[in-house]
Amino acid sequence: MASPPDTDIHYLGLMSGTSMDGVDAALVRFGDHHCDVVHTHKQPYPEALRSALRDAAQNPETLTVDRLGSMDHWVADCFSGAAQAVITGSNIDPALIRAIGSHGQTVRHQPHADRPFTLQVGDPNRIAATTGITTVADFRRRDLALGGEGAPLAPAFHQWLFATNNDNRVVLNLGGIANVTVLAEESSATIGFDTGPANTLLDAWINDSQSKAFDDGGKWAKSGEVIQPLLQTMLSDSYFTAEPPKSTGFEHFNLSWIRRVIESCNLPTPPAANDVQATLAELTAQSVADDIRRHAADTSTVMVCGGGVHNEYLLSRLQDKMPQISISSTATFGLDPDCVEAAAFAWLAMQTLQQHPGNLPSVTGASRPAVLGGVFLGTS
């Protein structure tokens, strides 16, 4: 999977995950299994767009073609704005940017449907047209066409950047969904998969209960008590015991899921909202720890990235469940945890243009490695 150094050329990665809160942009220069992040930018979605995206993901039966087309245009303009902001902030000549790698915004991911599909919005034609920079997008569907899950795709980048011959490592991304990349020192086959919810349920519950976008530092969860019967009912969801390769998203783990589980649990009294939040944090910590024990028993190091790295309470619960493992931010290993995913899609764009595979069949279950994505030519 190694890519040759391209030290004079920059790549720009654009990423928005299942939290649906905005666009992460990273301008990156790649070397020999090394990357330098030149500049980053976080562009929040307008609240109306975020609401529309969440509604589309949670209520697909109400999504019209007109609404889908409108969101495709709107998200693309947000992605373009993020790209232009990071270029302006970096003072880099756009001619030095070889390509933009755009993940788009997932609104539906159904790899196990009768006719499997994954759907991202954010028209790459508009990104290429407004920035003038060649844009690589639609990364997931080639893997899906080869029988894979189409996700997660970041493990190939994690392997390229973080793998070592003298340490058993796990890269843990705590985005809307939690996913792990297992980098074993004596194994050539990297594995990775979605363990389940990370921020998506925590954000949904605090938004519904307190009209807040997220639980700052996990303080609200920390104020509550874990409801053990509710936790066990949550953990009984079949996703947690499914074997990888596996992937999931907002279409499965969402506010309606929380309400259904609470109702099915038949608690003697309605639970306090902060106790539910504490239970949701425990669900993430428990499901991640269980999967690391099952699939990466020899791990000594967990490298955390994604928005959940700022949830101090969640990280403390993880550490309590895995006391023998060193848990730290990817910043300790040279890459800001807030831009790992954006950097991954910059790297995937480079892989595509160099005609190198971007997927790992051991992760996604695809029948073979493949060059991913479509290329939309710019003018610069």
pLDDT of residue 380: 57
pLDDT of residue 194: 96
Q: What are the chain's domains?
A: 10-150+339-376 (3.30.420.40), 154-333 (3.30.420.40)
pLDDT tens column, 20-34:
889 999 999 999 989
pLDDT tens column, 155-205:
999 999 999 988 899 999 999 999 999 998 776 689 999 999 999 999 999
Alpha helix stretches (DSSP H) within the chain:
47-58, 65-90, 124-131, 140-145, 154-162, 199-210, 219-222, 228-235, 255-265, 273-295, 312-321, 340-353, 361-364
Instruction: Give the angle 307-312-318 at the CA atoms, nearest 5°.
Output: 90
User: Is it the case that residue 5 has pLDDT exceeding 50?
Assistant: no
pLDDT of residue 58: 85
Q: What is the rounded CA–CA span in Å between residue 23 and residue 80? A: 10
| pTM, to two decimals | 0.94
| Paired tokens of 213 | 């976008």
- For 32, 151, 304, the CA distances from 333, given in Å and listed in that order, are 15, 24, 10
Q: For residue 3, what pLDDT band results from cuts at 50, 70 and 90?
A: very low
Average per-residue pLDDT for the chain: 95
pLDDT of residue 19: 84
Q: What is 137-196 written as a DSSP string?
A: E--HHHHHHTTS-----HHHHHHHHH--TT--EEEEEESSEEEEEEE-TT-S--EEEEEE
Q: What is the rounded CA–CA span in Å between residue 152 and residue 359? A: 9
pLDDT of residue 7: 55
pLDDT tens column, 343-362:
999 999 999 999 999 999 99
Average pLDDT over residues 98-121: 96
pLDDT tens column, 330-340:
999 999 999 99
User: Is it the case that residue 211 has pLDDT exceeding 60?
Assistant: yes
Q: Are 170 and 162 within 8 A, CB to CB?
A: no
Alpha helix stretches (DSSP H) within 213-311:
219-222, 228-235, 255-265, 273-295
Average pLDDT over residues 226-243: 97
Q: For residue 379, what pLDDT band results from cuts at 50, 70 and 90?
A: confident
User: Is it the case that residue 271 has pLDDT exceeding 80?
Assistant: yes
